[in-house]
Amino acid sequence: MTWRGWQVVDGEKPRSTRAVLREFDEPPGTGDVVVDVGYSSINYKDGLALMGRPGVIRRTPLVAGIDLVGTVVNSDTAEWPAGTRVLVNGWGIGEEYDGGLVERVRVREEWLVRVPDVFTSAQAAAIGTAGFTAMLGVLAIEERAATAGPEGRVLVTGASGGVGSIAVAILARCGYAVTASTGRRAEHDYLRRLGATEVIDRHELSDEVGRPLQSTRWIAAIDAVGGPTLANVLAQTEYGGVVAACGLADTADLPATVMPFILRGITLAGINSVYCPSADRLVAWERLAADLDPGLLDGLTETVPLAEAQTVAARILDGGVRGRTVVDVTH
Ligand SMILES: NC(=O)c1ccc[n+]([C@@H]2O[C@H](COP(=O)([O-])OP(=O)(O)OC[C@H]3O[C@@H](n4cnc5c(N)ncnc54)[C@H](OP(=O)(O)O)[C@@H]3O)[C@@H](O)[C@H]2O)c1
């Protein structure tokens, strides 16, 4: 028996890489638990890996895919018997360990989370790292300050992307008045359907860095963009507010001052999904099960077969993917 998967290998030029769809005689991977992968997904990082861009792949050859959802085939431990539905987000898969874009893979038991019963395996993959990260952002907001209510608006930037779409849906379900910032005029209705009460043009935030303290607009924010956008969001957040920074879709730069921190007590909460401790993962997945409407999730998800993963990778790097793309690894 053989298993198909996307493997990143050395390219022709020094230090270049490229991804190839190939067959494996043995399941690739690291660890004692063998999983039949049903679904993976395409995050921005997977786009970079599959398109031979630097910044994600730490070694070659390496199976791409920072997410997987599947069924345990066998393991050495009673805690993960054959047949258990499991998921892995991050922990370095698809970056330094073989990842989820393959039909069968070995993983470490400490990486595993049980798929919540309310979600199908495809829905758990639709959530993936993007949705898990969005929920970590919501938890950071709740932990430090903001309470839900129509008076206080919460901003989501990069709103029609994977993290942004799921953040809008969760925040709206939790009772926040959500403002979605997007560069795509055509997606305003989509964002309102997810629960945004207001949609703004991203250029309002990204074109130039304004004054260090501006008129306040948000009690909290989840930012997937970085750069001038994040600097302006910090300067527009109310006293005691929280800004959860999770992405760099524009740039890794942060052209900001300390003024929002020292004069308004703003918290800049860093979000890292990859090495998030297991206990926090369980909390986040429990909250996803409670606060993410599976119907809305289906509406923001497209599904493609394994062979089309690279086509979607090219589109996500061009900013052309709305919401989430699940890869059906079995087709
Ligand atoms: N910290 C973590 O653990 C973690 C986890 C997951 C993702 N991330 C990061 O979070 C970011 C979003 O990930 P994703 O999977 O949601 O990617 P995605 O689906 O490509 O979404 C990114 C969105 O950002 C907006 N955008 C793109 N280029 C932009 C630019 N130049 N200026 C302003 N906005 C821009 C677009 O939204 P609009 O078209 O609506 O404007 C785009 O849809 C990425 O940087 C990713 O690496 C971090």
Residue 247 to residue 38: CA distance in whole angstroms: 27
CB atoms within 10 A of CB 75: 21
Distances (CA, A) of 158 to 180, 238, 270: 8, 21, 17
Helix ranges (DSSP H) in 15-161: 44-50, 121-144
Whose C-alpha lies nearest to ligand 1, atom 32? 250
Share of the chain above pLDDT 70, in %: 98
**Taking the CA of residue 326 as centre, how many other CA atoms within 13 Å lie in the half-sphere pointing to its CB?**
25
For residue 152, the model assigns a pLDDT of: 80
Residue-wise pLDDT for 195-222, tens only, equals: 999 999 999 999 999 999 999 999 999 9
Angstrom distance (rounded) from CA 95 to CA 63: 8
pLDDT at 145 over 70: no
* pLDDT for res 142: 93
How many angstroms does the Cα of residue 225 sit away from the middle of ligand 1?
6
Residue 311: per-residue pLDDT: 98
Distance CA 161, CA 39 (A): 19
Question: Which bin fits 265, alpha (ψ -120 to 50), beta or left (φ > 0)?
Answer: left
Q: Enter the tokens of residue 228.
A: 């001038």
For residue range 34-86, list pLDDT tens digits in order: 999 999 999 999 999 999 999 999 999 999 999 999 999 999 889 999 999 99
Whether the CB of 158 sits within 6 Å of ligand 1: yes
Say which residues have a Cβ less than 8 Å from residue 105's Cβ, sequence separation at least 6: 5, 27, 28, 29, 34, 35, 37, 63, 68, 70, 98, 99
- The position carrying tokens 């008076």 is 151
224 pocket-lining for ligand 1 (C-beta < 6 Å)? yes
* pLDDT score, position 147: 67
115 CB-side CA count, 13 A:
26
Specify the pLDDT at position 148.
61
Instruction: Report the range of poorest mean pLDDT among 120-124, 142-146, 180-184, 230-234.
Output: 142-146
Top mutation candidate among 163, 204, 205 for ligand 1, by most atoms within 8 Å of CB: 163
Query: How high is the pLDDT of residue 77?
Result: 87
Q: Is 257 exposed, middle or buried (0-12, 13-18, 19+ CB in 10 A)?
A: middle
Binding site membership of 28 for ligand 1 (Cβ less than 6 Å)? no
Q: Whose CA is nearest to atom 22 of ligand 1?
A: 161
Q: What is the 3-state secondary structure (H, E, C) of 222-286?
A: EECCCHHHHHHHHHCEEEEEEEEECCCCCCCCCCCCCHHHHHHCCEEEECCCCCCCHHHHHHHHH
At residue 151, does pLDDT exceed 90? no
Mean pLDDT lowest among 35-39, 140-144, 271-275, 293-297: 140-144
- What percent of the chain is helix, strand and coil (3-state, nearest 5)? 30, 30, 40
> Can you tell me which residue has the tokens 């020094």?
14
> pTM of the prediction?
0.97
Q: What band does 144 get if pLDDT is binned at 50, 70 and 90?
A: confident
Atom number, ligand 1, closest to the C-alpha of residue 202 = 41
